[in-house]
Amino acid sequence: MTRLFNDPDDFAAEMTAGFAAASARWVRAVPGGVVRSTAAAEPTVSLVVGGGSGHYPAFAGLVGPGLAHGAAMGNIFASPSTQQVHSVAATADQGRGVLLSYGNYAGDVLNFDAAQERLRTAGVDCRTLVVTDDVSSAGPQERDRRRGIAGDLTVFKVAGAACEAGHDLDDVERVARLANDRTRSLGVAFGGCTLPGAGEPLFDVPAGRMGVGLGIHGEPGIDEADVPTAAGLAGLLVDGLLAEVPDGAGARVVPILNGLGSVKYEELFVVYGAVHRLLTEAGCEVVDPEVGEFCTSFDMAGASLTLLWLDDTPGELEQLWSAPCDTPAFRRGRDAGQHAVTVPGGPGAAGTAPLPVPEAGPGSRECGTRIAAVLADVAAALDEHADEFGRLDRVAGDGDHGIGMQRGGRAARDAAADAAGRGAGAGTVLRRAGEAWGDRAGGASGAIWAGMLAALGTALGDDTAPDTARVAAGVSAAERAVERSGGAAVGDKTMVDAIVPFHRALAARSEAGDDLATAWAAAAREATTAAEATRELRARLGRARAHGDRSIGTPDPGAVSFALVVRTAGERLREAAEC
Ligand code: ADP
Ligand code: MG
């Protein structure tokens, strides 16, 4: 239960501001998150981490000398937007390149990848290492599909120490990859978390039972079992992890017992005592253990065990893991940060001047105004259906699809109205709406909608009023953009299942000579039927993948919301055609 908040919509922003005020010794707030408030004596490679908020001390609490240089901070449980990641990384860059590192979640991957593209285009050498420590989220043959949970800490710490030691980007990436290869985690949940202002937890676990293989966004466990004793839990976690010792690992191991948000330290110590004993009995040498909160899931009741497997003799990994660091939430060694100097405050969260609107032809301007009106209707429809989408996403995802679409829809509505009011053409109105959507919504769907609106906007342009064929071509471009960025195909149970039939029907009707309103309405009906049909599918991508079977019987939230958006737009097009 989250008791202390003001307006729930402002929670993440107010939390960030308070955190920065309390942690000025280490960090300063910049648009999109925080960067270090200190500079090292010599420029180094910069490590930028991130993800949604709600996981403290991941991610902002790990910024400081010896660890990360910046953290992109999304809304609660929603990945940061592309612009947030880009802003933090561009500010943190010291001219020696940037390593982006984060948990392997669809929304994070989409947004960090897009930010990486932007940085590379601007000439910044940028690499990515996704953390994939959660053994419960995919089998050993599919390690690249696993989620990142508390193992974030080992990867970030090793990479941050390598940056501090002056390694070049190739080498920082290499050791980060090694740390990830040698890190495994497994967790359990006794109860779900309740987001600020929400009336109920994201999921429930029956009394006396626990979810095994938890996610850190309120995703329920993969299996369920009776709650064991502390020693029993230690046995389950240690056995689960000893079943998969990484290739090349020695017998020396760093255990990290992590509380998920509302398990007491004292309880964790009771469990840890048994973990330590069991590891030793299994022939492991325990090195430098940690017990506490390192990656939480709001106020979720649960715990996870992470093992970082070292070499048989103290070597590179161990040295980097135990090197000094000084951050708000994780410190070690006495001389960490001793050479760091506080840098004067850089750009704060100050507003920027509105972007100028490019010249547009009169037909395109008129169309821009109509698109702004469509987006206002879409925002209203998304407001109305937010709870329903949240419920659908809660079945096998993290429950935030309603809030995400609502935030994105409202931001798109406002940006479109602003651009149209300043005489923008159709293309610019859509592109600005897409940027605003992506920036405010975060998450997988935020990045996808941002990409779709941008592709459609580019295809429509600002010169003339687009005809049906150009709109159909624009929708095809949007569909290709989704498939390119997200890699989903029809049948994976994502919004692609609704987008593909929509674009095909629109293209066919347009070729047959239908007017836009008629063609669009027919295509929207196809999208609605296809979205409903995803009910039968098993999720193969996105957050829902780890709970694939659970998703059977419930349609994909992103497909259902896509169908609502195109239906709503269709109604406005019909009204416009009638008058
Ligand atoms: P998140 O998954 O980051 O919490 P949302 O809950 O807002 O984001 O959106 C979830 C929806 O995003 C899913 O229902 C699915 O339709 C869509 N989605 C997830 N991953 C992909 C992908 N790779 N390609 C296309 N759509 C995706
Ligand atoms: Mg979600």
* Residue bearing the CA closest to ligand 1, atom 5: 401
Instruction: Write the CB contacts of 512 (distance below 8 Å, at least 6 apart in sequence).
Output: none
Q: Which ligand is nearest to the CA of 543?
A: 1
Alpha helices per DSSP H over 422-491: 426-441, 443-460, 468-486
Three-class DSSP labels, 380-437: HHHHHHHHHHHHHHHHHCCCCHHHHHHHHHHHHHHHHHHHHHCCCCHHHHHHHHHHHH
How far apart CA 392 and CA 398 sit, in angstroms, is 9
Q: What is the mean pLDDT of residues 508-536?
A: 97
Least-confidence region, from 12-26, 106-120, 166-180, 536-550: 536-550
Taking the CA of residue 107 as reference, the ligand 1 atom at the shortest distance is: 3
Q: Which ligand is nearest to the CA of 537?
A: 1
How far apart CA 171 and CA 163 sit, in angstroms, is 9
CB 314 within 8 A of CB 78: no
How far apart CA 299 and CA 262 sit, in angstroms, is 5
How far apart CA 458 and CA 463 sit, in angstroms, is 11
Q: How far is CA 519 from the centre of its chain?
A: 35
Known active-site residue 339: no
Is the pLDDT confidence value at 349 over 50?
Answer: no
Comparing CA positions, the residue from 405, 433, 409 lying closest to residue 421 is 433
Least-confidence region, from 50-64, 127-141, 211-225: 211-225
The reply to whether ligand 1 has any atom less than 6 angstroms from the CB of 108 is no
Is the pLDDT confidence value at 548 over 80?
Answer: no
Taking the CA of residue 110 as reference, the ligand 1 atom at the shortest distance is: 23
How far apart CA 155 and CA 147 sit, in angstroms, is 14
How far apart CA 432 and CA 355 sit, in angstroms, is 9
pLDDT band of residue 578 (cuts 50, 70, 90) is: low
Q: What is the pLDDT of residue 351?
A: 47
Residues in the chain, overall count: 579
The reply to whether ligand 1 has any atom less than 6 angstroms from the CB of 557 is yes
Instruction: Compute and round to an integer the Cα radius of gyration of the chain.
Output: 24
CA–centroid distance, residue 413 to ligand 2 (Å)? 21
How much is the mean pLDDT over the chain? 93
Q: What is the pLDDT of residue 181?
A: 98
pLDDT band of residue 575 (cuts 50, 70, 90) is: confident
CA–centroid distance, residue 444 to ligand 1 (Å)? 4
Q: What is the mean pLDDT of residues 387-406?
A: 90
Domain boundaries, the chain: 8-333, 362-578
Q: Do domains 8-333 and 362-578 have the same CATH topology?
A: no
pLDDT band of residue 222 (cuts 50, 70, 90) is: confident
Q: Which of 385, 480, 494, 550 most suits a substitution to test ligand 1, by most atoms within 8 Å of the C-beta?
A: 494
Q: Which CATH superfamily is domain 362-578 in?
A: DhaL domain (1.25.40.340)
pTM of the prediction? 0.83
Least-confidence region, from 97-106, 139-148, 414-423, 435-444: 435-444
pLDDT band of residue 576 (cuts 50, 70, 90) is: confident
What is the phi/psi pair of residue 213, to 5°? 85, 55
pLDDT band of residue 432 (cuts 50, 70, 90) is: very high
The topology under which CATH files domain 8-333 is Rossmann fold (3.40.50)
Q: What is the pLDDT of residue 442?
A: 77
> Which residues partner with 342 through β-bridges?
38
CB 169 within 8 A of CB 188: no
How far apart CA 414 and CA 261 sit, in angstroms, is 36
Q: What is the pLDDT of residue 216?
A: 83
Q: What is the pLDDT of residue 380?
A: 98
Q: What is the mean pLDDT of residues 87-93?
A: 97
pLDDT band of residue 347 (cuts 50, 70, 90) is: very low
Q: What is the mean pLDDT of residues 430-458?
A: 94
Tokens (6 digits) for 253: 């191991």
* Residue bearing the CA closest to ligand 1, atom 19: 542
The reply to whether ligand 1 has any atom less than 6 angstroms from the CB of 400 is yes
| Catalytically annotated residue among 69, 217, 401, 503 | 217
Which amino acid type is present at position 400?
Answer: D
Is the pLDDT confidence value at 555 over 70?
Answer: yes
Q: What is the pLDDT of residue 541?
A: 74
- Cβ density class 286-314: b for 16+ within 10 Å, e for less: eeeebbebbbbbbbbbbbbbbbbbbeeee
pLDDT band of residue 47 (cuts 50, 70, 90) is: very high
The reply to whether ligand 1 has any atom less than 6 angstroms from the CB of 296 is no
Is the pLDDT confidence value at 332 over 60?
Answer: yes
Taking the CA of residue 446 as reference, the ligand 1 atom at the shortest distance is: 7
How far apart CA 475 and CA 455 sit, in angstroms, is 8
What is the phi/psi pair of residue 424, to 5°? -75, 150
* Residue bearing the CA closest to ligand 1, atom 11: 558
The reply to whether ligand 1 has any atom less than 6 angstroms from the CB of 494 is yes
Q: What is the pLDDT of residue 344?
A: 64
Residue with tokens 């929670």: 11
Least-confidence region, from 38-47, 383-392, 398-407, 466-475: 398-407
The reply to whether ligand 1 has any atom less than 6 angstroms from the CB of 326 is no
Percent of the chain at pLDDT > 90 equals: 82
Is the pLDDT confidence value at 374 over 90?
Answer: yes
- On the CB side of 152, CA atoms within 13 Å amount to 33
Comparing CA positions, the residue from 560, 538, 541, 561 lying closest to residue 551 is 538
Q: What is the mean pLDDT of residues 437-450?
A: 90
What are the Cα distances from residue 125, in Å, to 58, 80, 333, 485?
25, 21, 31, 20
* Residue bearing the CA closest to ligand 1, atom 7: 401
Q: What is the pLDDT of residue 337?
A: 60
Q: What is the mean pLDDT of residues 495-504?
A: 98
How far apart CA 483 and CA 391 sit, in angstroms, is 26
The reply to whether ligand 1 has any atom less than 6 angstroms from the CB of 445 is yes
Per residue in 253-307, pLDDT (tens digit) is 999 999 999 999 999 999 999 999 999 999 999 999 999 999 999 999 999 999 9
